[in-house]
Amino acid sequence: MTGAPRVGFDYRPALANREGIGRYARELVRACIGLGADAQLRLFASTLSRSKFDTQELGLRGSRARLLRLRLPSRWLRPLMRASGRGADDWLGGVDVFHHTQPNLLVVRKAVQVSTIFDCIYLHREGWLDEGSAERMERAARAQVACSRLILVPTAFVAEDVIARLGARREQVVVTELGCDHAARALRESAPRRADDAGFVLTVSRVDARKNHVRMLAAFEQLVAAGFRRRWIVAGPRGFGSEGFAAALERSSARERVEWREFVPEDELARLYAGADAFLFASLSEGFGLPPLEAMRHGVPVIAARAASLPEVCGEAALLVDPLDVDAIAAALRRVLGEKQLAAELVRKGFAQSARFTWRACAQKTLAAYADAIAG
């Protein structure tokens, strides 16, 4: 093969998903375009409903990347491809490598395949997912390992999980850390902080059992009981097990000081980050953990769990706590909110730590992985 490889890319999450997997697809393509690789890109997407992002927001306007968008629900694609004898690589006009960006795999006939696996949470069976979903996700991940020449993962923590628990070969797994510089772009475009948002702790994540909101609420209740006047804003939609947090919040002694915003637009989220006094992220398990880095990029001191990938991603720039210890979470909050020197030091370290993670670097490593996959 001569010249740059033609890359097929599963772009479906970019159009509809507002969480990490959608962010990854949008920002990785945007960064590849910034590196001048747009002529190589063939983007495959399908949504029955309207895209949640326009071409300007996607960063596609004026680029040479080709977007094939089918007005079909994703569940129809595999049966349709099998029936037609044509894969996603055929529909894109033929590509050298195809990148699966999610476990819902497309049929690929000829191209070398690369997959991204973000985490192995479904393997841990800790009550974070219903059993049926965990089994489906495990089957999908094992299928990704089986069909892909290379597996891209966001952290060394996930790499070890993929090798140990999914049976991938060590040389098959490549770490391509995610970026967080999109947060700086969002901050530039956001409105200034309003006076009525003064004094709050922020948590950004889907509300499910794994994210540990019930223990974070119990810690916040200790602060309110101790006389702290701040609010706690929780930004994130409902997920598996969210009813536990909803019930705890309903009976909480601090419920009048807690705001659960299930849908927050990008510009509003940037303003919340910029206005927060502290960012709390005591998640029990993450494959990467973008929100703490986004908060650091906005100049907010971060409290994060000493668990899974978070120590690797946050380094010494966050105050790390045992996520199972409510008293430790509360003590960390009191320190960050009450000790100005500590908060300032965390902000300084946070700027430096978050600057290490860029989508440009992620794109460079990913493009190199495509070339390595093709070379075999």
Domains in the chain: boundaries: 7-179+358-375, 182-355
Cβ–Cβ under 8 Å, residues 317 and 328? no
Prediction pTM value: 0.93
pLDDT in tens, 22-65: 999 999 999 999 999 999 999 999 888 777 787 777 889 889 99
pLDDT in tens, 263-285: 998 889 999 999 999 999 999 99
pLDDT in tens, 257-267: 999 999 998 88
**For residues 274 and 261, what is the distance between their CA atoms, to the nearest angstrom?**
16
Is domain 182-355 classified as CATH 3.40.50.2000?
Answer: yes
Q: Do domains 7-179+358-375 and 182-355 have the same CATH topology?
A: yes
Q: Which residues contact 275 (CB under 8 A, 6 or more apart)?
A: 193, 194, 197, 198, 200
Mean pLDDT of 318-329: 98
**pLDDT > 70? residue 191:** no
**For residues 217 and 177, what is the distance between their CA atoms, to the nearest angstrom?**
30
Q: In terms of Cα–Cα distance, which of 143, 119, 123 is closest to 134?
A: 123
Cβ–Cβ under 8 Å, residues 286 and 119? yes
Homologous superfamily (CATH) for 7-179+358-375? Glycogen Phosphorylase B; (3.40.50.2000)
The torsion angles phi and psi of 10, rounded to 5 degrees, stand at -75, 100
Per-residue pLDDT band for 16 (boundaries 50, 70, 90) equals confident
